[in-house]
Amino acid sequence: MSQHTTLRRALLFMPGDSLRKIEKAIGLGVDSIVMDLEDGVAFSQKAAARRIVVQALQTLDFGRSERLVRMNPMGSELAEDDLRSSIVGRPDGYVLPKAEFAEQIEAVDEFLRLEEQARGWPAGQIKLLPIVETALGVMAVREIALASPRVDALLFGAEDLAGDMGAQRTPAGWEVFYARSAVVMAAKAYRVQAIDQVFFDLNDLAGFEAECRAGRQMAYDGKMVIHPRQVEIAQRIFAPSEEEIQAARRIIQAHDEAQAAGLGAFALDGRMVDRPVVRMAEQVVRKARAAGMMEDA
C-alpha cells in the first residue's frame, strides 16, 4: 500500500517498438507515458521493442512525464525477458496486465528488490501499477492492492474483462459497471490511485470527454489513453477547474475562521459545511498544486 504523490491524469500508451511514437508522446506534456511491450507489439517484434524501450529510457529526456513500461502478463514466457531487458533503463514503474493474484505482484516486487539492491538504487522507488481486467482479478482486487508497498495505482481494463466474461460491450458500460466500481473502491480503501478504462473510439471526442467526467465523478484519478488527441481532454477533466479551486479555497478559509472561533460545522453560502466537505476541498487544493495550477503555500 502506497501514499502516491505522482500526478496521473492521463497514462498514454505507445507501442514499445516505435521510438518515433515515444518521442512524439514526450512532446505532449502527458503525465505518464506507458511504453508497451504487450498488446501494442506483435509477437515477432517483442525483442526489438525491448531494445527500443531501453534505448528510449537511456537516451531520451522525458521531462516531467513518468516513464512506465507495460510488460507481458506474469506467467507468460515473455514476462521474465521483459523485466530482465528493461530494468537496465531504470523505468519509474511497471504496468502489470492481467493481474489476478497477489503472488504475481510479489514476484515482480522481489525481482525489483534484488535489482535495486544489486545496482545501488533506492529501495522501493520503482512502482507497480496492476491492471485489473479479468473476472478473477476483480474478485482478488483487495489482495492485488495490498500485495506490495510498490503498488501505486490500480488500472481498470474494461475490454479484456468483457472478453473474459463473455459480456457484450456497450457504450453505456453497465456490463462492466460493477467491476469499474470495485476497482475504484479498492483503490480508495487502500490509498492508491485509480485509473479508468480505455475509450477506443478515437473520433468520438465528445464521448471520450463524457466518459472522463463520469470516471472523475466515480473518484477515478485519471484515464488510460491510446491516442495523443485524448491527452488534453483527460488532463483537463481530471484536474480541478478554476471554479472548483476558488470554491475549495473559500471553504478552507471559512473553516479556519470557524475553528478559530470555536465552531465545528458552519454555514457558507447557505450550505452546511462539516469535516467531510472540508476534506474534499483540501483534496481539490492538493490536486491543483500537483497539476501546477496553484502555488505551494
pLDDT of residue 5: 59
- pLDDT value for 2: 45
Q: Would you say 136 and 100 are in contact if contact means Cβ atoms under 8 Å apart?
A: yes
CB contact burial 38-49 (16+ within 10 A = b; e otherwise) = bebbeeebbeeb
CA angle 133, 93, 215 (to 5 degrees): 45
CA–CA gap between residue 67 and residue 6 (Å, rounded) = 11
- Going residue by residue through the chain, which has 297 residues, state the pLDDT in tens, using 9 for 90 and above: 444 558 999 999 999 999 999 999 999 999 999 999 999 999 999 999 999 999 999 999 999 999 999 999 999 989 999 999 999 999 999 999 999 999 999 999 999 999 999 999 999 999 999 999 999 999 999 999 999 999 999 999 999 999 999 999 999 999 999 999 999 999 999 999 999 999 999 999 999 999 999 999 999 999 999 999 999 999 999 998 788 888 888 888 888 888 888 888 888 888 888 888 888 888 888 888 877 777 765
- Going by DSSP bridges, is the β-strand pair 193-196/153-156 parallel, antiparallel, or unpaired? parallel
Domain residue limits, the chain: 10-237, 242-290
Tell me what pLDDT residue 297 has.
52
pTM, whole model, 2 decimals?
A: 0.91
Taking alpha carbons only, the member of 105, 95, 12, 29 closest to residue 64 is: 29
Going by the DSSP 8-state scheme, the letter that residue 45 receives in this structure is: G
Which three cell numbers mark 83? 523485466
Radius of gyration from C-alpha coordinates of the chain: 20
CB atoms within 10 A of CB 217: 8
Q: CATH topology for 10-237?
A: TIM Barrel (3.20.20)
Nearest residue to 154 via CA among 222, 79, 66: 222
**Residues 87, 125: Cα–Cα separation, whole Å:** 13
d(CA 27, CA 128): 24
Phi, then psi, of 80 in degrees rounded to 5: -65, -40
